Amino acid sequence: QVQLVESGGGVVQPGRSLRLSCAASGFTFSSRVMHWVRQAPGRGLEWVALISGDGDNRYHADSVRGRFTISRDNSKNTLYLHMNSLRTEDTAVYYCARDRGDWQLDSWGQGTRVTVSS
């Protein structure tokens, strides 16, 4: 069955960097668009970024553009989120999710928590 497992979260100081990973299994990873979505404490879900199956096309939310970069390694069935210049408002649980083909997310991981604090 489809499995998405995020890792790499933790506590980091403002201005520092962090890389999140999402290990995928149970489907042909390279053929599917993938997303990162986050949920700040007490808040709703917020879309962060999307990457096409071949990695050639990427979209990022305005709130993270220029600081975060989504990438993937199809040889390792792994999705990444490179986060630079972290801010306290980036504190959230970060989820990776699979796109069913039309910006609708049919499988999600359980999330990894990122806390940005001095």
Partner 1 sequence: QSALTQPASVSGSPGQSITISCTGTSSDVGGYKYVSWYQHHPGKAPKLMIYDASNRPSGVSDRFSGSKSGNTASLTISGLQAEDEADYFCSSYTRSATLVFGAGTKLTVL
In angstroms, give the least distance from the CB of 60 to partner 1.
Answer: 9
Instruction: Compare residues 1 and 75 and give the one whose CB is closer to partner 1.
Output: 1
User: Distance from CA of residue 63 to its chain's centroid?
Assistant: 14
Instruction: Compare residues 83 and 111 and give the one whose CB is closer to partner 1.
Output: 111
Rounded Cα distance between 18 and 5, Å, is: 17
Instruction: Compare residues 19 and 100 and give the one whose CB is closer to partner 1.
Output: 100
In angstroms, give the least distance from the CB of 37 to partner 1.
Answer: 8
In angstroms, give the least distance from the CB of 64 to partner 1.
Answer: 11
In angstroms, give the least distance from the CB of 67 to partner 1.
Answer: 16
DSSP string, 3-67: EEEEE--EEE-TT--EEEEEEEESS-GGGS-EEEEEE-TTS-EEEEEEE-TTS--EEE-TTTBTT
Rounded Cα distance between 74 and 60, Å, is: 20
Residues engaged in binding partner 1 (CB under 8 A): 4, 35, 37, 43-47, 50, 59, 61-62, 95, 97, 100, 102-111
